[in-house]
Structure 1
Amino acid sequence: MGRKSRILTGSLAVTTAAGGLAAGAYLGLVTAAIPLDLGVGRRMRPLGPLSVDVWAPREVVFDLLAEPYLGRATRAIREKVTVLERGSDMALAAHRTPVRGRLVATTVETVRFTRPDRVDFRLVRGPVPHVVERFLLTEQPFGTRLEYTGELGTDLWAVGEWWGAAVAGRWERAVTDTFHAVRTEAERRTGRH
């Protein structure tokens, strides 16, 4: 093998290895298997606000939100949420969210319950270094207004800001899905629509 062939083969091997490392790092970050918290160039962005009106009493809506963490979860919920540790008003839980194809992101969050009007989440491990969220439940003449707000933080200035925008979109879609499921089940339980 000539010198040019060896150089070309060596360059190809280095390029392949670098590509494999980059792909592995990306998959690790997307699925939260490799959390990145550098504390450098932190950028914060809001999550929400989102809200949904539920034609059911606040206690019913609160119980539905707390059930997977403090009570008995359905089989469908257990496929998405695993409670790692539980107390009377707080849980540490792993949440699985489909990302793309067979990719699944697993985040670990503390979930604190203030009956009957508030549920707070704080990210422990995930695809970004910082997330705090809250669900507020307010009584209305028709039933309950469920509101969501939060903030998401990323590192590395503009690169992190770009990543945060991508993650925030999926995060808010997951909350919207939760809202629809809670509204449907609460209204089914109370027979109101």
Structure 2
Amino acid sequence: MTGHRFARLAAWAAGAAAVGVGGWAGLVSGALPADLGVGRRTRRLGPRTVDIAAPRGVVFDLIAQPYLGRTTRAMREKVKVLERGSDMVLAAHYTPLGDRWTAVTVETVRFTRPERVDFRLVRGPVPYVVESFTLTAQDAGTRLVYEGVLGTDLWRAGQWWGQKVAGRWEETVAASLASVQQEAERRAARR
């Protein structure tokens, strides 16, 4: 193989690798959404139930605060409201993926006071996600139930990707629910 031919082959391989890495990074971070509409497979998210020793209104207000009210300093790193209506917002959610990557999802968030918050994915690492938080008043406080559906394209390859994304997605939701429980119970105790 001549030096010129080898240089062209090396340049082509480096370009293909850069496109592959860039595509992977874009898919993982949500910057390059892939909604092809073929071979759609769905899987459930949750359900996850959390009993919270706080009134339903306190829990609802806590969930809605970063979207409908003033975003706290701690939440500014996680949520940015892009557009706000009376009962719905368009919000970007930032989830760290290790030291180097941050996944960005854009979702509509709809509020039905005081019993429900619905999320619908607009842009992210998968083409389809719908989720809900349902709040039910209980004698000892509030029962919060999280459930949803995540969908991917491209048959088995998409199903494999959906399993990877769903695991991280549900970990993030579980951490969020634990935070909501802790803060709602703290607020209720102050009353």
* TM-score for the superposition, normalised by structure 2: 0.96
Match of 2:15 among 12, 17, 22: 17
Deviation digits for residues 79-121 of structure 1 (CA, Å, limit 9, x no counterpart): 1100011111111100001112121011110000011110000
Structure 2: 5+ residue runs without aligned partners? none
In structure 2, distance between residues paired with 1:190 and 1:44: 38
- Listed as ranges, the matches of 1:129-140 within 5 Å are 129-140=127-138
Q: CA deviation at 1:15?
A: 1.5
In structure 1, distance between residues paired with 2:189 and 2:100: 37
Q: CA deviation at 1:155?
A: 0.6
Structure 1: 5+ residue runs without aligned partners? none
Match of 2:95 among 97, 118, 132: 97
Match of 1:149 among 142, 147, 150: 147
Deviation digits for residues 116-175 of structure 1 (CA, Å, limit 9, x no counterpart): 110000001111110000000111121111110000110111110011011111111111
Q: CA deviation at 1:10?
A: 2.5
Match of 1:47 among 22, 45, 52: 45
SS at structure 1 position matched to 2:2: helix
Letter in 1 for 2:158: G
Match of 1:177 in 2: 175
Aligned residue-pair number: 190
Alpha-carbon RMSD: 1.1
Match of 2:71 in 1: 73
State the identity as a percent: 62
Letter in 1 for 2:147: T
Match of 1:120 in 2: 118
In structure 2, distance between residues paired with 1:108 and 1:156: 22
In structure 2, distance between residues paired with 1:146 and 1:19: 45
Match of 1:59 in 2: 57
Letter in 1 for 2:61: D
Letter in 1 for 2:56: R
